[in-house]
Homo-oligomer: A and B are copies of this chain.
Amino acid sequence: MAGPNPAIAIDIGGTKMAAGLVEPGGRLIAAARTATPHALDAEQLWRTLDALISQVLESAGVGRTGALSGVGCGCGGPMEWPAGQVSPLNIPGWRSFPLRERLADRFNGLPVRLHNDAICMAAGEHWRGAGRGRRDMLGMVVSTGVGGGLVLDGRLINGATGNGGHIGHVVVDPDTGPPCECGGKGCLEAIARGPALANWAQQQGWRPGQREPTAKDVADDAARGHPVAIAAMRRAGRAIGIAIASATDLCDLEVVAIGGGLAQAGGLLFGPVTETVRIYARLDFARDVQVVPAGLGQDAGLIGAAALIFAGERYWSGG
């Protein structure tokens, strides 16, 4: 069982790697972050992570692993779960990399628990963020991709392969929607992921010819009143709203917490999202679903990774 010692929390995404120390109550007491080095091979990536963890332990004066409760880790998918062999889409150096096993070797004797990064975000938001005290919640990450995690009846849902809550591929426009990288069509992610949003805005005449503008650029221009940028935010927000309505009706949700870069756009995104949810989620039990920004910001992934250790009865059933 978890003692009064802190846990190591790790959050590995395509953009950044983070390591932290989290107290049993959920407070993040130390953290270090670095850009994910994409050019490295598997062992170099591991050494980068290892150094990041050592840096956090040293900064907090933790010398011996005996003073730790365990190691929780979120990592970009796909992965073999719960075995923890990871092949993150945006980290080409790791393919079937035995991350859980390597962490177990590194922290000999400590429990090591690993899950999808979006699932850890949802666990963090349920444990100590926007879903605290609720039984049924969807946590969403809207960023370079669109992912998520489900907590239903007070427990984290794993699903058959550890991919429960992956809302990015709910179909929101089956007839006229764009093709999706998954091979399908009209998925939420194909419309609302940052690069798709920026790409659509360019096609409509926003910043023509400019190389690789981002969704943040679109959001900034929308805030300045640029009509195409506003339309792009509305289109993404509407797609998110339709997916949330479907998920709410299917899973009988109380609250949906949205994090990730695009959630920073505030009302420009949440306005159309909420408006759309009110149009499509009309059953008595669904119409009052709350759609809110994630409460823990960039720390949700680390705090959720720690939840796998400190609140395993709700968030961990991977053995």
Interface majority SS (helix, strand, loop, mixed), chain A = loop
Q: B182 and A164: CB pair below 8 A?
A: no
Q: Which residue of B lies closest to A317 (CB)?
A: B153
- Which positions in A face B, CB cutoff 8 Å? 78, 134-136, 150, 152-153, 155, 157-176, 180, 182-187, 242, 245-247, 249-254, 279-286, 317
What are the residues of chain B within 8 A of A157 when measuring CB–CB?
152-153, 251-252
Q: B282 and A160: CB pair below 8 A?
A: no
Copies in the complex: 2
Q: A160 and B246: CB pair below 8 A?
A: no
Q: A252 and B159: CB pair below 8 A?
A: yes
CA distance A253 to B275 in the complex (A): 30
Q: Which residue of B lies closest to A168 (CB)?
A: B249
Q: B252 and A166: CB pair below 8 A?
A: yes
What are the residues of chain B within 8 A of A78 when measuring CB–CB?
284-285
State the Cβ distance, A206 to closest chain B Cβ, in Å. 23
CA distance A111 to B201 in the complex (A): 59
Q: Which residue of B lies closest to A247 (CB)?
A: B250
Q: B185 and A279: CB pair below 8 A?
A: yes
Partner of A182, one of B135, B246, B250, B283: B283
What are the residues of chain B within 8 A of A246 when measuring CB–CB?
169-171, 246, 250
CA distance A170 to B248 in the complex (A): 9
State the Cβ distance, A120 to closest chain B Cβ, in Å. 16
What are the residues of chain B within 8 A of A176 when measuring CB–CB?
175
Q: A285 and B161: CB pair below 8 A?
A: yes
Instruction: Sort A-B residue pairs by CB-CB distance and give the 10 closest, nearest first.
Output: A159-B252, A183-B282, A169-B249, A136-B160, A161-B285, A184-B282, A170-B246, A163-B252, A182-B282, A160-B254
Q: A171 and B253: CB pair below 8 A?
A: no
Q: A253 and B283: CB pair below 8 A?
A: no
Q: A249 and B170: CB pair below 8 A?
A: yes
What are the residues of chain B within 8 A of A159 when measuring CB–CB?
136, 152-153, 251-253, 285
Q: B166 and A250: CB pair below 8 A?
A: yes
Q: A252 and B173: CB pair below 8 A?
A: no
Partner of A167, one of B250, B282, B317: B250
State the Cβ distance, A249 to closest chain B Cβ, in Å. 4
Can you name 15 A-B pairs with beta carbons within 8 Å? A78-B285, A136-B160, A150-B250, A152-B157, A153-B158, A153-B159, A160-B254, A163-B252, A166-B249, A167-B249, A173-B175, A185-B280, A187-B249, A187-B280, A250-B250
